[in-house]
Structure 1
Amino acid sequence: MKRITSILLLLISCFSFAQDKWTTQSGNINFEASVPFFEEVKAQNYAVKCVLNSEYKIIVCALKIKDFHFKLDLMETHFNEIYLESDKHPRATFKGTIPNLDVTKITSEGIILPINGKIKIHGVTQPLSIKGKFKKTENAIQLTADFELDTDDFKIEIPSMILPKVSKKVKTHIDFILE
Protein backbone atom coordinates (compact mmCIF):
# COMPACT_ATOMS: atom_id res chain seq x y z
CA MET A 1 0.00 0.00 0.00
CA LYS A 2 2.86 2.40 0.82
CA ARG A 3 4.41 1.67 -2.54
CA ILE A 4 1.20 2.49 -4.45
CA THR A 5 0.75 5.69 -2.45
CA SER A 6 4.35 6.69 -3.15
CA ILE A 7 3.96 6.06 -6.88
CA LEU A 8 0.71 8.05 -6.99
CA LEU A 9 2.30 10.97 -5.15
CA LEU A 10 5.27 10.89 -7.52
CA LEU A 11 3.00 10.90 -10.58
CA ILE A 12 0.87 13.75 -9.20
CA SER A 13 3.96 15.83 -8.44
CA CYS A 14 5.31 15.25 -11.97
CA PHE A 15 2.06 16.40 -13.55
CA SER A 16 1.78 19.42 -11.29
CA PHE A 17 5.16 20.71 -12.49
CA ALA A 18 4.44 20.08 -16.16
CA GLN A 19 2.71 23.04 -17.74
CA ASP A 20 1.35 23.07 -21.25
CA LYS A 21 -0.65 26.29 -21.24
CA TRP A 22 0.87 29.67 -20.57
CA THR A 23 -1.45 32.69 -20.51
CA THR A 24 -1.71 36.42 -19.96
CA GLN A 25 -4.61 38.83 -19.73
CA SER A 26 -2.33 41.86 -19.65
CA GLY A 27 0.04 41.56 -22.58
CA ASN A 28 1.53 44.75 -24.00
CA ILE A 29 1.44 45.71 -27.65
CA ASN A 30 2.45 49.10 -28.93
CA PHE A 31 2.81 50.56 -32.35
CA GLU A 32 4.24 53.62 -34.00
CA ALA A 33 3.31 55.11 -37.36
CA SER A 34 5.13 58.42 -37.00
CA VAL A 35 6.84 60.34 -39.77
CA PRO A 36 9.60 62.92 -39.23
CA PHE A 37 8.60 66.53 -38.48
CA PHE A 38 4.99 65.68 -37.58
CA GLU A 39 3.09 64.75 -34.42
CA GLU A 40 4.08 61.40 -32.93
CA VAL A 41 1.60 58.64 -33.84
CA LYS A 42 2.07 56.07 -31.12
CA ALA A 43 -0.27 53.92 -29.02
CA GLN A 44 -0.16 51.30 -26.26
CA ASN A 45 -2.49 48.45 -25.33
CA TYR A 46 -1.93 46.70 -21.99
CA ALA A 47 -4.93 44.37 -22.18
CA VAL A 48 -3.86 41.80 -24.78
CA LYS A 49 -5.01 38.28 -24.04
CA CYS A 50 -2.72 35.49 -25.16
CA VAL A 51 -2.51 31.71 -24.74
CA LEU A 52 0.56 29.66 -25.60
CA ASN A 53 0.03 25.90 -25.73
CA SER A 54 3.51 24.41 -25.59
CA GLU A 55 2.30 20.85 -26.16
CA TYR A 56 0.66 21.67 -29.51
CA LYS A 57 3.07 24.56 -30.24
CA ILE A 58 0.28 27.05 -30.93
CA ILE A 59 -0.30 30.62 -29.86
CA VAL A 60 -3.54 32.61 -29.93
CA CYS A 61 -3.77 36.32 -29.09
CA ALA A 62 -6.71 38.73 -29.05
CA LEU A 63 -7.17 42.38 -28.22
CA LYS A 64 -9.85 45.06 -28.26
CA ILE A 65 -9.04 47.89 -30.64
CA LYS A 66 -10.51 50.42 -28.20
CA ASP A 67 -7.89 49.39 -25.61
CA PHE A 68 -5.19 51.25 -27.59
CA HIS A 69 -4.40 54.56 -25.93
CA PHE A 70 -2.65 57.58 -27.42
CA LYS A 71 -1.19 60.71 -25.82
CA LEU A 72 -3.83 62.82 -27.55
CA ASP A 73 -7.52 62.04 -27.12
CA LEU A 74 -8.31 63.32 -30.61
CA MET A 75 -5.84 60.86 -32.14
CA GLU A 76 -7.49 58.04 -30.23
CA THR A 77 -10.93 59.13 -31.46
CA HIS A 78 -9.77 59.31 -35.09
CA PHE A 79 -8.02 55.94 -34.75
CA ASN A 80 -11.23 54.26 -33.52
CA GLU A 81 -13.79 56.07 -35.66
CA ILE A 82 -12.02 56.74 -38.98
CA TYR A 83 -9.11 54.34 -39.40
CA LEU A 84 -9.87 51.09 -37.55
CA GLU A 85 -13.65 51.52 -37.33
CA SER A 86 -13.59 49.80 -33.95
CA ASP A 87 -17.38 49.69 -33.59
CA LYS A 88 -17.56 47.64 -36.80
CA HIS A 89 -14.30 45.68 -36.20
CA PRO A 90 -13.85 45.63 -32.39
CA ARG A 91 -11.09 43.00 -32.15
CA ALA A 92 -7.79 42.00 -33.68
CA THR A 93 -6.57 38.41 -33.43
CA PHE A 94 -3.53 36.32 -34.17
CA LYS A 95 -3.46 32.51 -34.42
CA GLY A 96 -0.17 30.82 -35.12
CA THR A 97 2.25 27.99 -34.64
CA ILE A 98 5.77 27.84 -33.25
CA PRO A 99 7.17 24.70 -34.90
CA ASN A 100 10.50 24.66 -33.01
CA LEU A 101 9.08 25.40 -29.56
CA ASP A 102 10.56 23.32 -26.75
CA VAL A 103 9.93 24.95 -23.37
CA THR A 104 12.77 22.98 -21.78
CA LYS A 105 15.26 24.75 -24.08
CA ILE A 106 14.14 28.29 -23.20
CA THR A 107 16.74 30.01 -21.02
CA SER A 108 16.94 33.28 -19.12
CA GLU A 109 19.04 34.69 -21.98
CA GLY A 110 16.30 33.76 -24.42
CA ILE A 111 16.01 32.01 -27.75
CA ILE A 112 14.61 33.32 -31.01
CA LEU A 113 12.01 31.18 -32.74
CA PRO A 114 9.89 31.67 -35.86
CA ILE A 115 6.16 32.19 -35.33
CA ASN A 116 3.89 31.64 -38.34
CA GLY A 117 0.20 32.33 -38.49
CA LYS A 118 -2.64 34.59 -39.50
CA ILE A 119 -3.45 38.02 -38.15
CA LYS A 120 -6.89 39.60 -38.46
CA ILE A 121 -7.23 43.37 -38.24
CA HIS A 122 -10.06 45.56 -39.52
CA GLY A 123 -11.90 42.43 -40.68
CA VAL A 124 -9.04 41.39 -42.99
CA THR A 125 -6.94 38.26 -42.42
CA GLN A 126 -3.31 38.18 -43.59
CA PRO A 127 -0.47 35.68 -43.13
CA LEU A 128 2.19 36.81 -40.68
CA SER A 129 5.63 35.34 -40.01
CA ILE A 130 7.76 36.90 -37.30
CA LYS A 131 10.68 36.02 -35.06
CA GLY A 132 9.82 35.93 -31.36
CA LYS A 133 12.27 36.02 -28.48
CA PHE A 134 11.30 33.60 -25.72
CA LYS A 135 12.91 34.06 -22.28
CA LYS A 136 12.41 32.05 -19.13
CA THR A 137 11.68 34.10 -16.02
CA GLU A 138 10.90 32.79 -12.52
CA ASN A 139 7.56 31.09 -13.21
CA ALA A 140 6.81 32.51 -16.62
CA ILE A 141 7.86 32.83 -20.23
CA GLN A 142 8.42 36.28 -21.69
CA LEU A 143 7.69 36.67 -25.40
CA THR A 144 8.86 39.77 -27.24
CA ALA A 145 8.85 40.54 -30.94
CA ASP A 146 9.19 43.46 -33.31
CA PHE A 147 7.56 43.47 -36.71
CA GLU A 148 6.02 45.78 -39.26
CA LEU A 149 2.46 45.88 -40.55
CA ASP A 150 1.22 47.71 -43.63
CA THR A 151 -2.11 49.55 -43.40
CA ASP A 152 -2.86 48.74 -47.06
CA ASP A 153 -2.77 45.00 -46.27
CA PHE A 154 -5.73 45.47 -43.91
CA LYS A 155 -7.69 47.94 -46.07
CA ILE A 156 -7.17 50.72 -43.55
CA GLU A 157 -7.72 53.92 -45.46
CA ILE A 158 -5.77 57.00 -44.46
CA PRO A 159 -7.34 60.21 -45.76
CA SER A 160 -5.16 61.95 -48.38
CA MET A 161 -4.78 65.12 -46.32
CA ILE A 162 -3.45 63.06 -43.35
CA LEU A 163 -1.29 60.70 -45.43
CA PRO A 164 1.89 62.85 -45.27
CA LYS A 165 1.63 62.85 -41.44
CA VAL A 166 1.14 59.10 -40.86
CA SER A 167 3.25 56.18 -42.03
CA LYS A 168 1.52 53.28 -43.77
CA LYS A 169 4.28 51.07 -42.34
CA VAL A 170 3.40 50.50 -38.70
CA LYS A 171 6.25 49.44 -36.40
CA THR A 172 4.78 47.01 -33.88
CA HIS A 173 6.22 45.63 -30.65
CA ILE A 174 4.78 42.94 -28.37
CA ASP A 175 5.81 42.05 -24.83
CA PHE A 176 3.92 39.25 -23.06
CA ILE A 177 4.62 37.62 -19.70
CA LEU A 178 2.93 34.22 -19.99
CA GLU A 179 2.34 32.37 -16.73
Structure 2
Amino acid sequence: MPSYEEVAAENKSVSAVLEQSTGDFAALVLIKGFRFKVALMEEHFNENYMESEKFSKATLKGKIDDFDISKISNTPKNFTLKGDLTIHGKTKPVTVTVKISKTANGVNAAGSFEAKPEDYGIEIPSLVRKKIADKVKIDYNFLLSK
Protein backbone atom coordinates (compact mmCIF):
# COMPACT_ATOMS: atom_id res chain seq x y z
CA MET A 1 0.00 0.00 0.00
CA PRO A 2 1.29 3.53 -0.70
CA SER A 3 3.25 5.48 1.93
CA TYR A 4 3.93 2.45 4.11
CA GLU A 5 6.88 0.16 4.49
CA GLU A 6 6.70 -2.64 1.95
CA VAL A 7 5.18 -5.83 3.31
CA ALA A 8 6.89 -8.53 1.27
CA ALA A 9 8.42 -11.92 1.93
CA GLU A 10 10.28 -14.66 0.10
CA ASN A 11 10.00 -18.38 0.72
CA LYS A 12 12.51 -20.95 -0.45
CA SER A 13 10.87 -23.74 1.59
CA VAL A 14 8.57 -24.71 -1.26
CA SER A 15 8.34 -27.90 -3.27
CA ALA A 16 6.43 -28.53 -6.49
CA VAL A 17 5.75 -31.46 -8.76
CA LEU A 18 4.51 -31.51 -12.35
CA GLU A 19 3.42 -34.84 -13.81
CA GLN A 20 4.50 -34.20 -17.40
CA SER A 21 2.33 -36.94 -18.90
CA THR A 22 -0.94 -35.63 -17.40
CA GLY A 23 -0.38 -31.96 -16.46
CA ASP A 24 -1.18 -32.68 -12.81
CA PHE A 25 0.53 -30.10 -10.58
CA ALA A 26 1.05 -29.79 -6.83
CA ALA A 27 2.95 -27.29 -4.69
CA LEU A 28 3.57 -27.29 -0.94
CA VAL A 29 4.64 -24.17 0.97
CA LEU A 30 5.93 -24.21 4.54
CA ILE A 31 4.44 -21.08 6.13
CA LYS A 32 7.32 -20.56 8.57
CA GLY A 33 9.65 -20.44 5.55
CA PHE A 34 8.58 -16.89 4.63
CA ARG A 35 11.38 -14.39 5.28
CA PHE A 36 10.60 -10.69 5.70
CA LYS A 37 13.00 -7.74 5.68
CA VAL A 38 11.67 -6.72 9.10
CA ALA A 39 11.74 -9.35 11.85
CA LEU A 40 8.66 -7.93 13.57
CA MET A 41 6.64 -8.36 10.36
CA GLU A 42 7.71 -12.00 10.22
CA GLU A 43 6.68 -12.52 13.84
CA HIS A 44 3.25 -10.91 13.30
CA PHE A 45 2.77 -12.88 10.06
CA ASN A 46 3.41 -16.21 11.79
CA GLU A 47 1.71 -15.56 15.12
CA ASN A 48 -1.16 -13.14 14.42
CA TYR A 49 -2.21 -13.72 10.82
CA MET A 50 -1.17 -17.13 9.51
CA GLU A 51 -1.13 -18.95 12.87
CA SER A 52 1.72 -21.04 11.46
CA GLU A 53 1.91 -23.35 14.49
CA LYS A 54 -1.65 -24.48 13.73
CA PHE A 55 -1.62 -24.07 9.92
CA SER A 56 1.96 -25.00 9.01
CA LYS A 57 1.57 -25.32 5.24
CA ALA A 58 -0.30 -24.10 2.19
CA THR A 59 -0.93 -26.18 -0.91
CA LEU A 60 -1.93 -25.72 -4.52
CA LYS A 61 -3.17 -28.84 -6.29
CA GLY A 62 -4.58 -28.90 -9.76
CA LYS A 63 -4.24 -29.69 -13.43
CA ILE A 64 -2.74 -27.68 -16.26
CA ASP A 65 -5.22 -27.55 -19.13
CA ASP A 66 -4.06 -28.96 -22.49
CA PHE A 67 -0.54 -29.60 -21.20
CA ASP A 68 1.71 -31.29 -23.77
CA ILE A 69 5.39 -31.55 -22.89
CA SER A 70 6.30 -32.02 -26.55
CA LYS A 71 5.09 -28.45 -27.26
CA ILE A 72 7.27 -26.87 -24.54
CA SER A 73 10.31 -24.93 -25.78
CA ASN A 74 12.80 -22.37 -24.45
CA THR A 75 10.19 -19.69 -25.14
CA PRO A 76 7.70 -19.42 -22.25
CA LYS A 77 4.16 -20.44 -23.19
CA ASN A 78 1.05 -19.58 -21.14
CA PHE A 79 -1.07 -22.37 -19.74
CA THR A 80 -4.06 -22.35 -17.41
CA LEU A 81 -3.90 -24.25 -14.14
CA LYS A 82 -7.22 -24.98 -12.46
CA GLY A 83 -7.16 -26.35 -8.96
CA ASP A 84 -7.56 -25.83 -5.25
CA LEU A 85 -5.55 -23.45 -3.10
CA THR A 86 -5.48 -24.27 0.61
CA ILE A 87 -4.27 -21.61 3.02
CA HIS A 88 -4.94 -21.30 6.76
CA GLY A 89 -7.05 -24.48 6.68
CA LYS A 90 -9.47 -23.15 4.04
CA THR A 91 -9.64 -24.39 0.44
CA LYS A 92 -10.84 -22.33 -2.51
CA PRO A 93 -10.88 -23.09 -6.26
CA VAL A 94 -8.40 -21.02 -8.28
CA THR A 95 -7.50 -20.49 -11.92
CA VAL A 96 -3.89 -19.46 -12.44
CA THR A 97 -1.89 -18.60 -15.57
CA VAL A 98 1.43 -20.48 -15.64
CA LYS A 99 4.30 -19.58 -18.00
CA ILE A 100 6.12 -22.81 -18.80
CA SER A 101 9.41 -23.18 -20.65
CA LYS A 102 12.16 -25.76 -21.13
CA THR A 103 15.48 -25.34 -19.38
CA ALA A 104 18.71 -27.31 -19.57
CA ASN A 105 17.71 -29.26 -16.46
CA GLY A 106 13.95 -29.60 -16.86
CA VAL A 107 10.97 -27.27 -16.94
CA ASN A 108 10.46 -23.78 -15.51
CA ALA A 109 6.98 -22.78 -14.30
CA ALA A 110 6.48 -19.15 -13.28
CA GLY A 111 3.79 -16.56 -12.81
CA SER A 112 1.71 -14.73 -10.25
CA PHE A 113 -1.80 -14.58 -8.89
CA GLU A 114 -3.71 -12.86 -6.09
CA ALA A 115 -5.46 -14.17 -3.00
CA LYS A 116 -7.66 -12.33 -0.50
CA PRO A 117 -6.78 -13.05 3.15
CA GLU A 118 -10.49 -12.86 4.09
CA ASP A 119 -11.27 -15.75 1.69
CA TYR A 120 -9.02 -17.97 3.81
CA GLY A 121 -10.24 -16.88 7.23
CA ILE A 122 -7.18 -14.71 7.88
CA GLU A 123 -8.17 -11.77 10.03
CA ILE A 124 -6.24 -8.51 9.75
CA PRO A 125 -6.55 -6.40 12.93
CA SER A 126 -8.20 -3.02 12.38
CA LEU A 127 -5.08 -1.26 13.68
CA VAL A 128 -3.06 -2.36 10.63
CA ARG A 129 -5.84 -3.09 8.11
CA LYS A 130 -5.08 0.04 6.07
CA LYS A 131 -1.39 -0.94 5.83
CA ILE A 132 -2.09 -4.31 4.25
CA ALA A 133 -3.50 -4.77 0.75
CA ASP A 134 -6.95 -6.35 0.31
CA LYS A 135 -5.37 -8.80 -2.13
CA VAL A 136 -1.98 -10.43 -1.60
CA LYS A 137 0.11 -10.90 -4.74
CA ILE A 138 1.81 -14.28 -4.91
CA ASP A 139 4.73 -14.61 -7.33
CA TYR A 140 6.18 -18.06 -7.98
CA ASN A 141 9.07 -19.48 -9.97
CA PHE A 142 9.68 -23.24 -9.95
CA LEU A 143 12.54 -25.06 -11.63
CA LEU A 144 11.16 -28.56 -12.01
CA SER A 145 14.02 -30.94 -12.77
CA LYS A 146 13.63 -34.16 -14.70
Report the structure, 1 or 2, having the larger helix content: 1
Taking the aligned partners of 1:110 and 1:135, their CA distance within structure 2 comes to: 4
Q: 2:136 aligned with 1:170, yes or no?
A: yes
Aligned to 1:129: 95
Contact preservation (8 Å) 2:76, 2:100: yes
Tell me the SS of whatever aligns to 2:15: strand
What letter corresponds to residue 147 of structure 1 in structure 2? Answer: F
Report 1 or 2 for greater relative contact order, CA contacts < 8 Å, sequence distance ≥ 6.
Answer: 1
Q: 2:59 aligned with 1:97, yes or no?
A: no
The size of the alignment, in residue pairs, is 145
Larger Rg: 1
Aligned to 2:126: 160
Q: 2:40 aligned with 1:61, yes or no?
A: no
Aligned to 1:151: 117
1:139 CA displacement: 2.3
1:54 CA displacement: 1.3
**Structure 1 residue runs of 4 or more that deviate by more than 3 Å after TM superposition:** none
Taking the aligned partners of 1:155 and 1:128, their CA distance within structure 2 comes to: 16
1:99 CA displacement: 2.2
Q: List gaps (5 residues or longer) in structure 1.
A: 1-34
What letter corresponds to residue 91 of structure 2 in structure 1? Answer: T
CA-to-aligned-CA distance 1:137-160 (integer Å, 9 cap, x gap) = 112100001111111110110000
Aligned to 2:48: 82
1:37 CA displacement: 0.2
Q: TM-score, normalised by structure 2?
A: 0.97
Taking the aligned partners of 1:131 and 1:165, their CA distance within structure 2 comes to: 28
Contact preservation (8 Å) 2:21, 2:69: no
Q: Percent identity?
A: 39
Q: List gaps (5 residues or longer) in structure 2.
A: none
RMSD: 0.7
Aligned to 1:142: 108
